[in-house]
Structure formats: structure tokens, C-alpha cells
Amino acid sequence: MRRPPVVVLGPTASGKSDVAMAVALAAGGTHIVACDAMQVYRGMDIGTAKPTAADRAAVPHHGLDLCGPPERYTVARYVEDIESARRVIADAGARELVVGGTGLYLTAIVDGLTMPGEWPEIREALEADPDTAGMHARLAGLDPAAAARIEPTNRRRIVRALEVCIGSGRPFSSFGDGVAAHPDNGAVFVGIRWQRDALRGRIARRVRLMVEAGLVDEVRGLVSAPGGLSSTAAQALGYKEIIDHLEGRTSLEEAVQEVILRTQQFAVRQERWFRRDPRITWVDVEDDPVAKVAPVVLAALS
């Protein structure tokens, strides 16, 4: 029987990947499952802070490079891919250490979600509508509960919720308890928590390091490749803003500042998402997340 996973989670730039690597190396017999909606895309490496080739050679990783940038990737597909990965982990007799950044994907693989169907023609019509705020208002009329849980600027989730409402004739929020459920299923959750200002500083430094590492060239290569980027991939933090720069709408410095701001705002939304889950043991960090958090995660794995 598969043992419940241990999850290390936190907002972007909190150090969760470093913690997971340190734990996996120390524990041995541990595979890392990346839970990031943008790390699934091949070639989107720098801007998603994807684990390095050296890290992936040292510790088996799953949940990375699952599709091409032009493809539309869904949480339902992610669940299927991780189920396949779990069979590999079980066959190896290894433990599963999940690194969680995307709350919906994490809930889907740890707690299970009832996934609605898909209606491509409806989705295509919705994606052609440029009025995101208007679509959010429309969703509020069809499914107030779903609209209240979705940021008015989160176009991807708004489109998906409307697609389900229209296609199924049911409120999107009616498909099971979904993200509001926190079942006692044996999974262990360890969260990394920084003071807000400290995390903002870490985000700003990381974005500038990404630019120094070649983010602009990475984005240029992706958009010029056959098929380019899907509408989902093109909205990824860092990529949308650099595309604006490459197309002459902003200077590089303006794009970098926008990436920093949007990433800081995203980190706040991640914190709000995770804060609802009473199962999480939070570890407050001031300087070194590995030293502070890794022992807690190691104890959970033992």
C-alpha cells in the first residue's frame, strides 16, 4: 500500500525546493514530486525556477517537463501524470516528497478532486473574449461561490469555471467539496513562513538573478519556436512581462519591475490559499530555510 506523502509547501521564493533537495539527499530512498502548474512545460526552466539538471540527476524528480509549451495542460492531466509517477515511486520502494506551490494541483493529488468534464468549443469562445472583468461578473451571476474564491484577474480560472458552468449546466462549485475540504488522509504538511517584507526581498533578488541567467533569451526562444506558447503558458509569471518587453511595449527594467510586483502579489495569494488548511505545521523562517525546515520534514519522513 502506498504511504501517504509528505508535503513541503510555501509561497514562491520561500526555499521549499532547497529544503526538499536537502531532505531527499539526507534521507535517501526519496523521490520529489514537483507540484507547479508551470514547471510542467518543457523549456520553461529559468522563469519557473525549475530544479537544475544536477539536482534531477542526484534525486529522482516527477511532475516536470510533462508537455510542450504550445499545449494546453490541465489539472486533470496532471493528476493522471502523477498517478503514473506514483507507480514508479512505489516500484522503487521510495517515499514521496511533494513540493507544493500551486494550491489547486496540490489539492488534486493529495486530497483528490472530482474533476468536471471539458467543453472545448465553449472554452474557445470564452478565450476569445478580452473582457476578463466582465467574465468574472458573469461568473458571479452563474456561480457566486466560485466567483468569490477566484481573483477577478485570474483569467485562466475564470474561463475554466465559466466553461464548466455553461457546459455542464451546474455551478462549478458544485463538483464535490473540492478545495474547501481538508480530509485527514494521513498526508503530512510542513509549511515555510517568512515575514512579508523578507519574502518580498527574496522575490526581487530571485527575479533579477533569473534575468541575469538568461530569462529574456529563454522567452525569446520559446515564442519564436513552432507553436509558440499556449495561452496558459504565456500567462506564466515572468513570461508575460518579458513578452511585453520583446514586443516593444515596455523597457526591460519596466518588465523586471512588473515581474517582481506580480510575483509578490502571487505569493500573497498563495499564502492565503494555504492558510485555510488546518493540517499544515508552519515553520517560521528568518534566514536559512534549509536549517530550520529540513529537520521537521526529515522527521515526518522517518
Same-domain check for residues 280 and 206: yes
Q: CA-to-CA distance for 68 and 59, rounded, in angstroms?
A: 23
Task: Return the bridge partners of 225, or none.
Answer: none
CATH label of the domain that carries residue 27: 3.40.50.300
Same-domain check for residues 22 and 105: yes
Q: What is the mean pLDDT of residues 204-230?
A: 97
For residue 42 the three cell numbers come to: 518543457
Contact 3, 95 (CB under 8 A): yes
Same-domain check for residues 158 and 73: no
Q: pTM for the full model?
A: 0.84
Q: CA-to-CA distance for 181 and 270, rounded, in angstroms?
A: 17
Domain total for the chain?
A: 2
Share of the chain above pLDDT 90, in %: 83
The dihedral sign for the CA sequence 225, 230, 236, 242: positive
pLDDT in tens, 220-252: 999 999 999 998 899 899 999 999 999 999 999
**1 domain-assigned:** no
Which pLDDT score, from 0 to 100, does residue 179 have?
56
Strands (E), 25-143: 30-35, 61-62, 95-100
Domain that holds residue 283: 6-113+187-301
